[in-house]
Amino acid sequence: MPSYVIPDKCDGCKALDKTACQFICPNDLMVLNKDSMKAFNREPEMCWECYNCVKICPNQAVEVRGYADFVPLGATVTPMRSTDSIMWTVKFRNGTLKRFKFPIRTTEEGKAVPDGGWSTGSDDLKSPVLFSEPQSLGLPEVVTIKN
Ligand code: SF4
Ligand code: SF4
């Protein structure tokens, strides 16, 4: 089931230029109604149920009803992020709560090195050769078609 925003919990990200759910959705589905200052999913049938908007919302205002093997029928699942872990709360139809906490990173926040220490240049990006080639192929060089 696609994501949906619980209006009472959504504060429109306090009128920032772009809301957190708009920023994170890989399918550009979330929009903000500037009159009500509430976000909504404008194309529910296009939702990948990726949970990105659910996890990033600072107010836990977005819900996705997961598949039955993950979230039993009628239950809801709500994530709460911290800097190094995420707590999932599953609320069952009968009111029972279960919580699962998982680590989400091994590198301290803000310390990630985007290129992993393997610096690349614009020539590398244009090359058809993979980073580990030709060594990983056991060849002295990779033959490519010259334009
Ligand atoms: S991230 Fe949450 S609070 Fe912000 S606009 Fe989206 S649903 Fe509303
Ligand atoms: S669950 Fe994923 S695809 Fe669906 S609205 Fe949220 S961020 Fe977009």
Residue 143, pLDDT score: 82
> Is any atom of ligand 2 closer than 6 Å to the C-beta of 25?
yes
What confidence tens digit (pLDDT) does each residue in 7-57 have? 999 999 987 778 999 999 999 999 999 999 999 999 999 998 888 999 899
How far apart are the CA of 84 and the centre of ligand 1, in A?
21
What confidence tens digit (pLDDT) does each residue in 115-145 have? 777 776 777 777 888 878 888 999 998 887 7
Residue 108, pLDDT score: 80
Mean pLDDT of 56-64: 90
Cα 31 to Cα 23: distance, rounded to the nearest angstrom: 10
pLDDT exceeds cutoff 70 at 98: yes
Residue 147, pLDDT score: 65
User: Smallest Cα–Cα separation from 79: which of 51, 119, 103?
Assistant: 51
How far apart are the CA of 85 and the centre of ligand 1, in A?
20
Ligand 1 atom index nearest CA of 32: 5
* Predicted model pTM: 0.69
Residue 66, pLDDT score: 66
Nearest residue (CA) to ligand 1, atom 5: 12
> Is any atom of ligand 2 closer than 6 Å to the C-beta of 64?
yes
Nearest ligand to the C-alpha atom of residue 20: 1
How far apart are the CA of 44 and the centre of ligand 2, in A?
9
Grade residue 70 by pLDDT with cuts at 50, 70 and 90.
low
Domains of the chain (ranges plus CATH)? 1-64 (3.30.70.20)
User: Smallest Cα–Cα separation from 49: which of 57, 41, 61, 59?
Assistant: 41
